Structure 1
Amino acid sequence: MTFANVGTLGTLPGKRDELVAHLTRRSPALSEIGCLAYEVGTDPAEPDTVFVVELWTSEDAHRASLQLPEVQESIAAARPLLSGEFGGFRFEVAGSPLRD
Structure 2
Amino acid sequence: MTFANVGTLGVQPGKAEELVAILTRRNPEMEQAGCLVYEVGVSQEEPDTVCVVELWESTEAHRASLQLPSVQAAIGEARPLLTGEMGGYRFEVAGSPLRD
Q: Distance in 2 between matches of 1:74 and 1:40?
A: 14
Aligned-pair CA distance for 1:88: 0.7
Code of the aligned partner of 1:26: R
Structure 1 counterpart SS, 2:14: coil
| Aligned residue number for residue 90 of structure 1 | 90
TM-score under structure 1 length normalisation: 0.98
1:1-100 pair list within 5 angstroms: 1-100=1-100
Residue 22 of structure 1, CA deviation = 0.9
Rounded to whole Å, the distance in 2 between the matches of 1:43 and 1:71 is 24
Q: Given the two structures, how large is their TM-score scaled by the length of structure 2?
A: 0.98
Partners in 2 of 1:40 and 1:90 — Cα distance? Answer: 16
Q: How many residues align?
A: 100
Q: Could you tell me which amino acid in structure 2 is paired with residue 85 of structure 1?
A: E
CA-atom RMSD, angstroms? Answer: 0.5
Percent of matched pairs sharing the same residue = 72
What letter is aligned with 2:77? Answer: A
Runs ≥4 residues deviating over 4 A: none
SS at match of 2:36: strand
